[in-house]
Structure 1
Amino acid sequence: MNHNEIFWLSKRLSPAEVCAHLLALSVVEFSYSPGLTVALELDGANGRLADTGRGMRLTPDIGDTLSHAERALTGFYPCTPSSSELDGVLRELVWGDQGSPGPSVANSACQTFKFTSKRDREVWSQSYVHGKPLGPAELLGQTDMTGTVIEFQTAEPIDTVVVARLVEALRLRVPGLSIAFQA
């Protein structure tokens, strides 16, 4: 999938589908870090998704100039769960037959998108507008915690009824998954 395909796919997503794609990322992370917690808050077109997973590197991979997170948030970077069963659930409820497109599709669909990651005892953040970074990732400080926080704004209000149904379906279908949902 190239940048044009990501752009066109992002334009077809409703605000609730954008939220679903972001929530699916936390569910994928749950498959690798089963003790994590997930919290989703929605207010009109604004959302905040936080999890206590591993966090994503906001520093470049060895030999690269882009941070690991920026590469995932701006290019095709499928996020696959640790089991085929969970992949099937997410394909059924969120992704469809094509599977995970990765975080760049939701990022491109958002008016604003701020990604904050706690990993390797550091807190990093980077902001985007319609999938384009506003600058490089910034080191915000130190922490003993891990996880990610995504603050996002969609073009129109998010249908909280649709998202609440998805949250409930995920809770029922993914053993041990806990999602705190506030709308």
Structure 2
Amino acid sequence: MHHNDLLFISRHLSPAEVCAQLLALSVVEYSRAPGLSVVLTLNGTEGQLADTGRGMRLTPDLGDTISHAERALTGFYPCLSSNEHDNAILQELIWGDHGSLGPSVANFACPALRFTSRREGEVWSQSFRYGQPSGPAALLGATNTTGTTIDFTTETAIDATEVAALVARLRKRIPELQITIHTR
């Protein structure tokens, strides 16, 4: 898939579909960290998705110039569950015919997105505007927890009812998955 294809698809996502694409990341992470919990908070055009998974590396891999997270948030980077059953559910409820395009499709749709990762004792964060980094990842400090928090803004209000219905379907189909949704 080309960069322009991702941009085209992202420009046609509704705000609820942006939430769905980001929720899919937490479901994928759930397959690798089954005890994780997810909290989605919605407030008009703003959202926050926080999980207690492993976190994503915001430092460059050895021999690379950009971080693993930045690569995933700015290019074609399919994220698949380690569980085929969950992949089938995500395909049906979220990904559709395109399959997993990765987090960049949601990032390209957002006027603002901040990705914060707690991993290996450190907290790192990086901000984006319509998929473009606002600067390099920054070390925020130390932590004894792991997980990811994505703060995002959509162009128009997020349909909280539509997102809540998706969360209910995900919880019904993957009963062990802990997702809590809050609206303000």
Q: TM-score, normalised by structure 1?
A: 0.99
The size of the alignment, in residue pairs, is 183
| Alpha-carbon distance, 1:31 to partner | 0.9
Alignment of 1:20-59 (within 5 A): 20-59=20-59
Partner of 2:168: 168
Partner of 2:17: 17
Matched, 1:94 2:94: yes
Matched, 1:111 2:118: no
| Alpha-carbon distance, 1:62 to partner | 1.0
Runs of 4 or more consecutive aligned structure 1 residues displaced over 6 Å after TM superposition: none
Q: Cα deviations across residues 108-153 of structure 1 (Å, max 9, x unaligned)?
A: 0001000000001000000000000000000000001000000000
Tell me the secondary structure at the aligned position of residue 97 of structure 1. Answer: helix
Please give the alpha-carbon distance, in whole angstroms, between the structure 2 residues aligned to 1:125 and 1:174: 30
Aligned-residue identity in percent: 61
The one-letter amino acid of 2:116's match is T
Tell me the secondary structure at the aligned position of residue 89 of structure 2. Answer: helix
Unaligned runs of 5+ in 1: none
Please give the alpha-carbon distance, in whole angstroms, between the structure 2 residues aligned to 1:178 and 1:37: 5
Q: Give the alignment's Cα RMSD to 1 decimal.
A: 0.6
Unaligned runs of 5+ in 2: none
Q: Cα deviations across residues 69-98 of structure 1 (Å, max 9, x unaligned)?
A: 000000000000011111000000000022
Q: TM-score, normalised by structure 2?
A: 0.98
The one-letter amino acid of 1:41's match is T
Tell me the secondary structure at the aligned position of residue 151 of structure 1. Answer: strand
Partner of 1:178: 178
| Alpha-carbon distance, 1:175 to partner | 2.7
